[in-house]
Amino acid sequence: MPAIGVFDSGVGGLSVLKALQDVLPFETFIYVSDAGYAPYGERDVAHVLTRSQAIAHYLRDVRHAKALVVACNTATAAAIADLRLRYPALPIIGIEPALKPAAALSKTGRIGVMATRSTLESEKFKGLLASQPANIAFITQACDGLAAAIEQGDQKRIQSLCTRYTQAMGPFGNEKGHIDTLVLGCTHYAFATETITDLIGPGIQLLEGGVPVARRTRALLEEIGSVNTAVAHPPRTHSCTLELLTTGAGEPLQNAAYRWLNEKTPVQQIDTATGS
């Protein structure tokens, strides 16, 4: 059965892949890290759009993926509308900051949003923000360098940047005027939740988008009768078929997949310009 294609600028989308594996335990996945052209979050929209188009072409036209998951907030904001126009018959699922769920959960009416600069400046995010209840205050924080630090596994820099950005957002807590809910608007940041929680306190609600994306992917595949339910092996111990591909160096993806998913799948380098 054809695979589900998943891509991100680097290793952050592994947080979405993990959720997809849990919700769709018998599927085959192809994960592409576009590390050779990263970071997306601090690049212009044209760059992100061009790269998203190249990877979508590779996954759909070369590898014949049955669905495409854009596991990157920045790429979703910049490119998903274009990709859906290019591939109208292909289920394409994007990810966006969980503002609506956060608004429903918050008691103080103050919600923090950590994201890349490109995501926060995108028209898609601005539209999403404008659609939220007027009585909710969203405190947005561009986290320059944080995705790259997570990509590199640089714990000292992750700690430093998370400290700087959470302090810049204002007080966290459950009292009036405090931020009681924090949205992680970049898939990379899911791998820094322990550090962030230590900084803002355990009582703060932390939201990221992997599970909703996985559930939406399953729902769309069920609509077209394309979910693989054949029990070819026992329910998941993360043993489903997986390909890990990158346009850059393989070591960061290999290390991250082992560290975060306990995956030992070898990483292959690809050239999306030639589809090889």
Active site residue 143: no
For the chain, the farthest-separated pair of C-alpha atoms sits apart, in whole angstroms, at: 56
Domain of residue 80, residue span: 4-95+210-269
CA angle, 157 then 158 then 159, to 5°: 90
State the average pLDDT for the chain: 92
Number of domains in the chain: 2
Q: Is residue 263 part of a domain?
A: yes
Task: Based on the fold, state whether residues 152 and 230 are members of the same structural domain.
Answer: no
32 contacts 270 by C-beta, under 8 angstroms: yes
The predicted-structure confidence for 228-265, as pLDDT tens digits, reads as follows 886 544 554 444 589 999 999 999 999 999 988 888 88
Active site residue 162: no
Q: Does 272 have pLDDT greater than 90? A: no
Sheet holding 29-33, edge to edge: 92-93, 67-70, 4-8, 29-33, 242-246, 267-269
pTM of the full structure? 0.88
DSSP 265: P
Catalytic choice (72, 143, 162, 240): 72
Q: Is residue 50 part of a domain?
A: yes
Q: Where among 161, 178, 207 does a domain terminate?
A: 207
User: What is the rounded CA–CA span in Å between residue 60 and residue 67?
Assistant: 8
Q: Is residue 113 part of a domain?
A: yes
